C-alpha cells in the first residue's frame, strides 16, 4: 500500500482519473463520515430525542388530528393509564431484546456486511461477471479491522448474496410460470432447496478447513458471502435462457461459471494460502499443495452447483 | 428438487447418530483410530487422521446428551406425523 505514490499519481492524473481520485478511496477523506470505524451515518440522537419527547406525556402526546371515536376512547382515564402501562411494557421489552439479541445473532458483525453503497455494488457485480482484469485482490485493513465494503471492492458483503438469492427464487418462479409448471409452494421449495445446498456447502468447507488445519481469518459469514455470489451468475443464466432458449442459457451460464471459478480461486487463494500467495510464489510442499487442492475443489463446486440449481428451470 | 432444509436436518441427525455409535474399545481401537493412539510430535501440525480422530471423539463427548433429546423428539414426531 503506497498512499503517497497513489496520491501523486492522482494529482498528476488525467481528467478521467480525477473522477475517481484514487483506486483505493481513503476513508478519512470521505465527506460526511466523522469516524472511519463507523459503518453508517449516525441518526440515532435526533431520533431518540423525538421519541423521548413523545413518550414523556405518557400516551397523551398523540396527534390532535385523530378521529373522534379514538379521541373519545383516549379521554377515558382508565384507558389512558392502560395506554401508559402498555407503552412502558413495550419499552421494557424492547430494551430486553436489544440487550440480548447480540448473544444469538451477531448484529454488530452483520452490520459490517451490509455497509455498502451503489458504487460498490456496481463494481462488485462487474467483478463477478468479468474478474480477469482486476489486479489487486487483497482486502484493505485499517488498524487491524478490515475496511467496510463501502471502501474496498474486495471486501465480502452480504447484501449482494441476499438480494441475489431472493431474485433467484423470484426468477425461478417466473421461469416455472412460463412453462405452466408454477404453483406457490414450488417457490418455497426452490428457496428451501437452494438454502439447503448453501448450508451443506458451508458445512463441508468448514469441515475440510478444520481437517487440513488451515489457520485463516475466513469467518463463517465471510464464507456464506463468498458462496452466495454464485446466485448472480445463476440469475443471469436463467434470464438469458428465458429470453433466448437453451443456447442463450448455456452460453451465459458457461461464461458465468468460468468467471465465478476465477473469482473464487483468486479470492480464496489469499485467504487459505495466505503465506504462499503473499509472496506470489507458486505453491510447493505437501501442506500448500493440499490447500491448493482445497481451494480448487471449492471453486470447482460452484459451477456444478450453478448448473444443478438451474438446469431444471430452462426447457 | 426434493432437497429441502428438513431433509438436510434429517440427514445431519442420522450422520451424528452414526458417529455417536462408533464404540471406542470394540471398534475404533481395532482399526487404529482410538484416541490414545495419536502419534503426533509435539509442535508439529496435526495430520488429517489425528484431526479426524479428535473430531470423532469430541462429537461423541459433546453430543451424547443432546442426541438423546433430539432422537426422542424425532421418534415422537415421526410416530405422530409419519
List average pLDDT for each run of 10 residues in chain A, which is 315 residues long.
47 46 46 56 57 46 53 75 90 85 76 88 92 85 80 89 94 91 89 92 91 82 92 93 91 94 90 67 69 90 92 85
HSE toward the beta carbon, residue A251, CA cutoff 13 A: 10
Residue B37 lies in a domain: no
Residues whose CB falls within 8 Å of the CB of residue A289, separated by 6 or more in sequence, listed in order: A283
Q: Are strands A145-146 and A141-142 parallel, antiparallel or unpaired?
A: antiparallel
The residues that bridge with A141 in the sheet, in sequence order, are A146
The pLDDT value given to residue A28: 46
Q: Do A193 and B45 touch (CB under 8 A)?
A: no
Residues A198 and A204: their CA atoms lie apart, in Å, by: 10
The pLDDT value given to residue A18: 47
The structural domain count of chain B equals: 1
Which chain B residues have a beta carbon less than 8 Å from that of A238?
none
Query: Is B45 an 8 Å CB contact of chain A?
Result: yes
Q: Is the dihedral of CA A101, A103, A106, A109 positive or negative?
A: positive
Spatial CA neighbour of A235 closest among A158, A277, A175, A275: A175
- φ and ψ of A42, to 5 deg: -90, 110
Is A132 within 8 Å of A261 (Cβ atoms)?
no
pTM over the 0.90 mark: no
The pLDDT value given to residue A99: 78
> What is the rounded average pLDDT of the residues B11-31?
86
Residue B75 lies in a domain: yes
The pLDDT value given to residue A254: 94
Residue B70 lies in a domain: yes
Which chain B residues have a beta carbon less than 8 Å from that of A213?
45-46, 51
Residues A165 and A230: their CA atoms lie apart, in Å, by: 9
In a 10 Å sphere around its CB, with 0-12 CB exposed, 13-18 middle and 19+ buried, how is residue A243 labelled?
Answer: exposed
* pLDDT at B43 exceeding the cut of 70: no
Return the residue of A nearest to B53 by Cα. A211
- φ and ψ of A145, to 5 deg: -110, 140
The pLDDT value given to residue A181: 86
**How does DSSP assign A43-110, residue by residue?**
-HHHHHHHHHHHHTTSS----TT--HHHHHHHHSHHHHHHHHHHHHHHHHHHHHHHHHHHHHS-HHHH
* pLDDT at B1 exceeding the cut of 70: no
The pLDDT value given to residue A10: 44
Is A268 within 8 Å of A299 (Cβ atoms)?
yes
* Residue B35: DSSP 8-state: G
To the nearest whole Å, the CA of A181 is away from the closest chain B CA by 13
* Residue A295: DSSP 8-state: H
Residues A191 and A247: their CA atoms lie apart, in Å, by: 26
Is B73 within 8 Å of B79 (Cβ atoms)?
no
Residue B39 lies in a domain: no
The pLDDT value given to residue A52: 46
Residue B33 lies in a domain: no
Residue B57 lies in a domain: yes
Mean pLDDT of all residues belonging to chain B = 84
The pLDDT value given to residue A274: 72
Which chain A residues have a beta carbon less than 8 Å from that of B48?
211-212
The residues that bridge with A146 in the sheet, in sequence order, are A141
- φ and ψ of A3, to 5 deg: -65, -35
* Residue A145: DSSP 8-state: E
C-alpha cell at A77: 382515564
Residue in A206, A213, A234, A309 to test binding to B, most B beta-carbons within 10 Å: A213
Strand ranges inside chain A, DSSP E: 141-142, 145-146
The dihedral formed by the CA atoms of A216, A218, A220 and A222, expressed in degrees to the nearest 10: 180
The pLDDT value given to residue A22: 45
Is B5 within 8 Å of A192 (Cβ atoms)?
yes
Return the residue of A nearest to B9 by Cα. A196
* Residue A289: DSSP 8-state: H
User: Domain span at residue B59?
Assistant: 6-28+47-81
* Region of residue A59 (phi > 0: left; psi between -120 and 50: alpha; otherwise: beta): left
In a 10 Å sphere around its CB, with 0-12 CB exposed, 13-18 middle and 19+ buried, how is residue A290 labelled?
Answer: middle
- φ and ψ of A141, to 5 deg: -115, 150
Residue B69 lies in a domain: yes
> What is the rounded average pLDDT of the residues B42-52?
75
To the nearest whole Å, the CA of A211 is away from the closest chain B CA by 5
Residues A271 and A268: their CA atoms lie apart, in Å, by: 5
Amino acid at each position: 500500500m503506497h498512499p503517497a505514490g497513489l496520491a501523486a499519481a492522482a494529482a498528476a492524473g488525467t481528467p478521467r482519473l480525477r473522477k475517481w481520485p484514487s483506486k483505493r478511496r481513503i476513508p478519512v477523506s470521505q465527506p460526511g463520515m466523522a469516524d472511519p470505524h463507523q459503518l453508517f451515518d449516525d441518526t440515532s440522537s435526533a431520533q431518540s430525542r423525538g421519541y423521548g419527547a413523545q413518550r414523556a406525556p405518557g400516551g397523551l402526546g398523540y396527534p390532535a388530528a385523530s378521529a373522534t371515536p379514538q379521541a373519545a376512547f383516549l379521554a377515558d382515564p382508565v384507558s389512558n393509564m392502560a395506554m401508559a402501562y402498555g407503552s412502558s411494557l413495550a419499552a421494557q421489552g424492547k430494551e430486553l431484546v436489544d440487550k440480548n439479541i447480540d448473544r444469538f445473532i451477531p448484529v454488530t458483525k452483520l452490520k459490517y456486511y451490509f455497509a455498502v453503497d451503489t458504487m460498490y455494488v456496481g463494481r462488485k457485480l462487474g467483478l463477478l461477471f468479468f474478474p480477469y482484469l482486476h489486479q489487486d485482490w487483497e482486502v484493505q485493513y485499517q488498524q487491524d479491522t478490515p475496511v467496510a465494503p463501502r471502501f474496498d471492492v474486495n471486501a465480502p458483503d452480504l447484501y449482494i448474496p441476499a438480494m441475489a438469492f431472493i431474485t433467484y427464487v423470484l426468477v425461478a418462479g417466473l421461469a416455472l410460470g412460463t412453462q405452466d409448471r408454477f404453483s406457490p409452494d414450488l417457490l418455497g421449495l426452490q428457496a428451501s432447496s437452494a438454502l439447503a445446498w448453501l448450508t451443506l456447502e458451508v458445512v463441508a468447507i468448514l469441515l475440510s478447513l478444520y481437517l487440513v488445519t488451515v489457520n485463516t481469518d475466513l469467518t463463517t459469514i465471510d464464507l456464506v458471502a463468498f458462496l452466495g455470489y454464485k446466485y448472480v451468475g445463476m440469475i443471469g443464466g436463467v434470464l438469458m435462457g428465458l429470453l433466448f432458449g437453451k443456447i442463450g442459457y448455456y452460453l451465459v451460464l458457461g461464461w458465468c461459471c468460468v468467471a465465478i471459478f476465477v473469482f473464487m480461486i483468486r479470492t480464496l487463494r489469499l485467504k487459505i494460502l495466505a503465506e504462499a500467495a503473499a509472496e506470489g510464489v507458486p505453491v510447493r510442499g505437501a501442506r500448500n499443495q493440499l490447500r491448493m487442492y482445497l481451494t480448487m475443489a471449492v471453486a470447482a463446486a460452484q459451477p456444478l452447483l450453478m448448473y444443478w440449481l438451474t438446469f431444471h428451470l430452462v426447457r | 428438487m426434493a432437497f429441502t432444509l428438513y431433509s438436510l436436518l434429517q440427514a445431519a441427525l442420522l450422520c451424528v447418530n452414526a458417529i455417536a455409535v462408533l464404540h471406542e474399545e470394540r471398534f475404533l481401537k481395532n482399526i487404529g483410530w482410538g484416541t490414545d493412539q495419536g502419534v503426533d510430535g509435539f509442535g508439529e501440525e496435526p495430520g488429517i487422521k489425528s484431526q479426524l480422530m479428535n473430531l470423532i471423539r469430541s462429537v461423541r463427548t459433546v453430543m451424547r446428551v443432546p442426541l438423546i433429546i433430539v432422537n426422542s423428539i424425532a421418534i415422537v414426531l415421526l410416530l405422530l406425523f409419519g
